[in-house]
Amino acid sequence: MLKLITFPRVSLASQLRGIKIISRYYSIARNSKVYPEEISLDGKTYKTDEWTNVPPYILELTQRRLHHDNNHPIGILRELIEKNFKGMGYTFYNDFTPGVTTFQNFDVLGFPQDHPGRSKSDTYYLNKDNLLRTHTSAHEHECFQTCETPGYVISADVYRKDEIDRTHYPAFHQMEGARIWTKSDKLEEIIAHDIEQIPKTNIIVEDPFRENCFNEGNPKQDYMTDNEVYLVSVHLKKTIEYLVNQVFEAARKSAKLAGSTEPYLNEPLKIRWVEAYFPWTAPSWEIEVWWKGEWLECCGCGIVRQQVLLNSGLGEEKLGWAFGIGLDRIAMLLFGIPDIRLFWTLDERFGKQFSSGNINTFAPYSKYPGIKRDISFWLPKDVTLHNNEVMDIVRTHAGDLTESVENIDNFVHPKTGKRSQTYRLNYQSMDRNLTNSEINVLHNNVEQDLKKLFDVEIR
């Protein structure tokens, strides 16, 4: 099914000039070419086609650059991590724009053609060959090509089509780290020496894979010796443990300074390593951090596959690791931010609470009451609808007034076999009271689009 979204008849440039999130009403139409001929993003022009699926409200987010704002929790966290990596041989890249090619985001990293991450329901495409990066790994290739230090750290905003709720948002932030060595007679000595240089931590580490770091299910690459894999993995894991330690220790220190006496503040930090899979690393792992009674998944990593290094022109004697850490969830913990959407608010009651170099706990301001609306419909025979798709339509009309979309009921009529779905739409503003009449208008538009796009029959 072809789903296209019209941009309003204003030039995209003028839409993107401001950073205010404007909710514009534009309609969705099926089977007709309604995108503008071209989309321009950060000085590049993309010809739209049947792959284009990035709505204007997402394009607007690309201009916010929260990781550059040293007075915003995301920017403060980036700065804190960078500060701890200074002088350790890493180059920092913070200015990559989010429009990348499918080659950068997927192909060069060895994603199979049928990987779900490539689908239009997971990823925002500018057109068939260009998309909004779904991870900072999209820049590994060029950084391996150009970086002149042994390692690099990339920070950037990334985009994935996702449901929106307290902890999920289609735009978020990642930091990517990587480190390379060159094979030689001295290599093992050199890596062992580099491991010694990583500052020690008091973290309690649970790692069933420290000594036996690869196995059939999480294999090593043939071009590395067992001991090289071991040494590189220890360097990788100790680097991430150091990073996690610095971040959580900073959080602990500021919580204590603010007078908090919660017991977890005096317990040693605990982490565990679990095995993982990424197409461009082998073996691969994830680190989880024990924080306030929960395991927090925060970072994927592994030993970079040689093919990726060869693709970057690095030659056969290079080897190394890479990791990617999500910033938003960690920033939510550090700053006590209850809802990921707050990062994007322009309300100054949020913005004025944070300043460069400080981790302080967010003081909630009054939440405005929301408005709930249920919508029930019969689906046509061949149509399946996902929460994501309903969410896209709601976001298209209600923008940041969309609090959540929940699929609360599904049933099949026992006699006719017709399928019915009910969704609960919660509308809410971060900055003001909503009126019933404005929500009626938005909600009616949502209904119209559901009918137009999916031929549903409203009940």
Structure tokens that stand for 99 in this block:
């429009």
Distance of CA 255 to the CA centre of its chain: 26
Q: Is 235 in the site for ligand PHE (CB under 6 A)?
A: no
Pick from 302, 312, 337, 429 the residue near ligand PHE by CB under 6 A.
302
Phi first, then psi: what are they for 439, rounded to 5°? -70, -35
Q: Which CB sits closer to ligand PHE, 135 or 220?
A: 135
**Least distance (Å) from ligand PHE to the CB of residue 45?**
28
Q: Which CB sits closer to ligand PHE, 109 or 401?
A: 109
Q: Which residue is nearest to ligand PHE (CB)?
A: 324
**Least distance (Å) from ligand PHE to the CB of residue 115?**
13
Any residues with CB less than 8 A from the CB of 1 and at least 6 apart, and which? 30, 383, 453, 454
Pick from 281, 312, 421, 445 the residue near ligand PHE by CB under 6 A.
281
Q: Is 48 in the site for ligand PHE (CB under 6 A)?
A: no
What stretches of 160-269 adopt beta strand conformation (E)?
171-182, 204-206
Tokens 């999500």 correspond to: 326
| 222-226 long-range Cβ contacts below 8 angstroms, 24+ apart | 223/306, 223/316, 223/319, 224/303, 224/319
Which parts of 164-193 interact with ligand PHE (CB under 6 A)? 176
320, 178 in Cβ contact below 8 A?
Answer: yes
Q: Which CB sits closer to ligand PHE, 110 or 336?
A: 110
Cβ density class 420-455: b for 16+ within 10 Å, e for less: bbebebbbbbbeeebeeeebeebbebbbebbeebbb
Q: Is 118 in the site for ligand PHE (CB under 6 A)?
A: no
Pick from 154, 213, 322, 331 the residue near ligand PHE by CB under 6 A.
322
Pick from 58, 61, 81, 301 the residue near ligand PHE by CB under 6 A.
301
Q: Which CB sits closer to ligand PHE, 26 or 152?
A: 152
Distance CA 132, CA 124 (A): 6
The DSSP symbol for 344 reads G
Tokens 């993107």 correspond to: 16
Any residues with CB less than 8 A from the CB of 172 and at least 6 apart, and which? 157, 158, 160, 326, 327, 328, 340
Q: Is 159 in the site for ligand PHE (CB under 6 A)?
A: no
Coarse DSSP helix, strand, coil percentages of the chain, rounded to the nearest 5 percent = 35, 25, 40
Distance CA 319, CA 448 (A): 55
The DSSP symbol for 89 reads S
Q: Which CB sits closer to ligand PHE, 134 or 429?
A: 134
Q: Which CB sits closer to ligand PHE, 323 or 423?
A: 323
**Least distance (Å) from ligand PHE to the CB of residue 303?**
9
Name which of 114, 118, 141, 143 is nearest 128 in CA terms: 118
Q: Which CB sits closer to ligand PHE, 151 or 324?
A: 324
Q: Which CB sits closer to ligand PHE, 302 or 399?
A: 302
Pick from 56, 300, 320, 399 the residue near ligand PHE by CB under 6 A.
300
Q: Is 135 in the site for ligand PHE (CB under 6 A)?
A: yes
Pick from 137, 404, 421, 445 the residue near ligand PHE by CB under 6 A.
137
What stretches of 78-221 adopt beta strand conformation (E)?
90-93, 99-101, 125-127, 130-132, 151-159, 171-182, 204-206
428, 403 in Cβ contact below 8 A?
Answer: yes
Q: Which range of residues in 97-105, 267-275, 300-308, 442-450 is near ligand PHE by CB under 6 A?
A: 300-308
Which parts of 59-78 interact with ligand PHE (CB under 6 A)? none
Phi first, then psi: what are they for 308, rounded to 5°? -65, -40
Q: Is 7 in the site for ligand PHE (CB under 6 A)?
A: no
**Least distance (Å) from ligand PHE to the CB of residue 428?**
29
**Least distance (Å) from ligand PHE to the CB of residue 200?**
24
Contact pattern from residue 421 through residue 450 relative to ligand PHE, giving x for each residue in contact according to CB under 6 A and a dash for the rest: ------------------------------
Q: Which range of residues in 37-45, 72-80, 320-328, 338-346 is near ligand PHE by CB under 6 A?
A: 320-328
Q: Which range of residues in 198-206, 263-271, 317-325, 375-383 is near ligand PHE by CB under 6 A?
A: 317-325
Residues that bind ligand PHE (CB under 6 A): 135, 137, 176, 278, 281, 300-302, 322-324
